[in-house]
Amino acid sequence: MFSKRFAVQLQSCVRQFCTTKCLTANAQAFEYPSVSSKLVKELQGIVGQSNVSTAEAVREQHGHDESYHKSSPPELVVFAENVEHVSHVAKLCNNNNIPLIPFGTGTGLEGGINAIKGGVCLDLNKMNNILAVNQEDFDCTVEAGVSRQTLNSYLRDTGLVFPIDPGADASLCGMCATSASGTNAVRYGTMRENVLNLEVVLPDGRVFDTAGKGRRTKKTSAGYNLTNLFVGSEGTLGIITKATLRLYGIPECTASAVCSFPSVKNAVDTTVNILQCGIQMARIEFLDEVAIDAFNKYSKYDMKVAPSLFMEFTGNEGTLAKQVDLVSEIVNMNEGSDFKWAEEAEEKNRLWKARHDIVYACMALQPGSKPYSTDVCVPISRLPDVIVRSKELIDAAGIIGFTLGHVGDGNFHNLFLINDDMPDQKAKAIKLSKQIAKIAQELDGTCTGEHGIGLGKKELLLREIGEEGLEIMKQVKSTFDPNNIMNPGKVFV
Ligand SMILES: Cc1cc2c(cc1C)N(C[C@H](O)[C@H](O)[C@H](O)COP(=O)(O)OP(=O)(O)OC[C@H]1O[C@@H](n3cnc4c(N)ncnc43)[C@H](O)[C@@H]1O)c1[nH]c(=O)[nH]c(=O)c1N2
Ligand SMILES: O=C(O)C(=O)Cc1ccccc1
Ligand SMILES: [Mn+2]
């Protein structure tokens, strides 16, 4: 019997021996072989010449997401048009030990698409058909490249909506891959609660449906939950080529409001009180005074520069009025003031768009900067503690940090502005981010509520689930991806 170590050495010798003409010089430094011109021709044979690009601009565009992580362009980009393309490309890469990185829309915030080990980026945007909308069953099935806004525009006349809203117009399968959520998870949950089935291509080319072909039930007890194994897998297990998603009726009535508080603690305590009273809210968002200042300047508002809550209520006329009364009472009890209501649809849309633009609002304060984000989530009772402590750390570090987030879920972000010309900012942001994640973990929370592990939080994942947990995750990965070609270098230390 060969020992495992010997087998790995042997594999690496074979790889080196097999490496033919390289496309990029720096790919030589990686443990994976470079993409040979022979392989390029084979890929062109699968997807057609026009669907393979080695152009510098295309590679660069696919080498980074919206995070602070430095760009790592893939050796080439392949555009798939259908699941057969995906299957053949995966198999070819697998047989040649070439890294394969699925690409949605590149709006991720943890460096998930950066090709740090070289290889092939598989862009799925050309697979953009909405395959089914079952109005009477409240579900739909979309191909990998369909974005959230495209789906919702398509649904406009049906009275239905796909509500999960990370702000960015991300691909829905990318949102599955990162287990995205956003402002209205309080009411609708995250991607985990809203995916009924996924079509997945494994690295060996097999295509399968995680809940069984054509299944689209709200409930199932049939075996392991393979669907949710792929939700949040960040491209490390296989390629999601189709998603069957839950839809919701647009609520009869919606009301949005903002209000201000004398301190961060008052605002967060209000959130905790509202949730502990069991009041059904659609969104409860927090912005601290630094974020409100950026919000006012960028989106032309004149809110009081103070810690604030943005809320959304949904229901019918009767239920809505009761909720609003109760929440107003809790707000007053916590010294909240300056209640402002957005009633017209236009006004509400403007308010929530401005909330979603907050990252750009903060970045506008330091043009050319990139956002460095924390993304912790804690049990709701621990939220005041972790937010107050994180703000104290930020003040002590002498760096500009914005605090905002989906406090109704116990999930919040600190945003630091990173300018490549100011290395001390980056060092401070990295240190703070780790400190805050560790505080969250100590308070029974997680280092990421919605952005994922990607490149920057691998150590924190180990800390969160321990050596054994990580080892089990690695075993799961090797079952699906024994050659470790799927998005290597991500998630696992
Ligand atoms: C301004 C702004 C604001 C926000 C956010 C981004 C930005 C720019 N996000 C983050 C982002 O929108 C979210 O992570 C999306 O789910 C990413 O979807 P993309 O299609 O862009 O995936 P992207 O292309 O960035 O890929 C992300 C990861 O998923 C993998 N992947 C993509 N498509 C795949 C597929 N079909 N099969 C397998 N793997 C695949 C990739 O390999 C990578 O690891 C966010 N998020 C959030 O949850 N809440 C929020 O509030 C926000 N807010
Ligand atoms: O706005 C949000 O809720 C986000 O998740 C985006 C984000 C990006 C960078 C820093 C903080 C938040
Ligand atoms: Mn968020």
User: What's the pLDDT tens digit per position in 122-162?
Assistant: 999 999 999 999 999 999 999 999 999 999 999 999 999 99
Whole-angstrom distance, CA of residue 188 vs CA of residue 392: 32
Residue 276 forms part of a structural domain: yes
Pocket probe for ligand 1: among 86, 100, 109, 236, the residue whose CB has the most ligand atoms within 8 Å is: 109
Mean pLDDT for each 10-residue chunk of the chain (493 residues)? 42 42 43 95 98 98 95 98 98 98 98 98 98 98 98 97 96 98 96 98 98 97 98 98 98 94 95 91 96 97 97 90 92 95 92 96 91 95 94 93 96 92 88 97 98 97 98 98 98 97
Are residues 434 and 335 part of one domain?
A: yes
Q: Are 197 and 341 contained in the same domain?
A: no
Measure 197 CA to ligand 3 centroid, in angstroms: 24
Q: Name every residue whose Cβ is closer than 8 Å to that of residue 346 and which is 6 or more positions away in sequence.
A: none
Determine whether 444 is exposed, middle or buried from the number of CB atoms within 10 Å of its CB (0-12, 13-18, 19+).
exposed
Q: How far is the CA of 170 from the centre of ligand 1 (A)?
A: 6
Q: What is the ipTM of this complex?
A: 0.99
- Is residue 359 located within the same domain as residue 377? yes
- pLDDT tens digits along 198-239: 999 999 999 999 999 999 999 999 999 999 999 999 999 999
Q: Note the pTM of the prediction, 2 decimals.
A: 0.94
- Is 492 part of a structural domain of the chain? yes
Atom index in ligand 1 nearest the CA of residue 183 equals: 51
What's the number of CA atoms in the CB half-sphere (13 Å) around residue 338? 15
Q: Total structural domains in the chain? A: 4
| Cβ proximity of 240 and 230 under 8 Å | yes
Lining residues, ligand 2, CB within 6 Å: 109, 167, 358-359, 371, 373, 413, 415
Task: Report which bound ligand comes closest to the CA of 371.
Answer: 2
| Extended beta strands in 144-264, E state | 160-161, 195-201, 207-209, 239-246, 248-249, 253-260
Cα 68 from chain centroid (whole Å): 15
451 inside domain: no
Ligand nearest to the CA of 167: 1
Say yes or no: 399 and 464 in one domain. Answer: no
CATH number, residue 386? 3.40.462.10
Residues 6+ apart with CB under 8 A from 466: none
46 and 21 assigned to the same domain: no
CA–centroid distance for 144 within its chain: 15
Residue to mutate (ligand 2; options 284, 288, 298, 415; most atoms within 8 A of CB): 415
Distance 28 CA to ligand 3 centre (A): 37
Q: Which atom of ligand 1 is nearest to the CA of 172?
A: 20
On whether the CB atoms of residues 231 and 176 are closer than 8 A, the answer is: yes
**Which residue's alpha carbon is at the smallest distance from atom 6 of ligand 2?**
359
Tell me the CA–centroid distance for residue 49 and ligand 2, in Å: 38
Structural domain range at position 374? 253-442
Question: Are 306 and 432 in the same domain?
Answer: yes
Question: 3 and 109 share a domain?
Answer: no
Q: Are residues 404 and 313 in the same domain?
A: yes
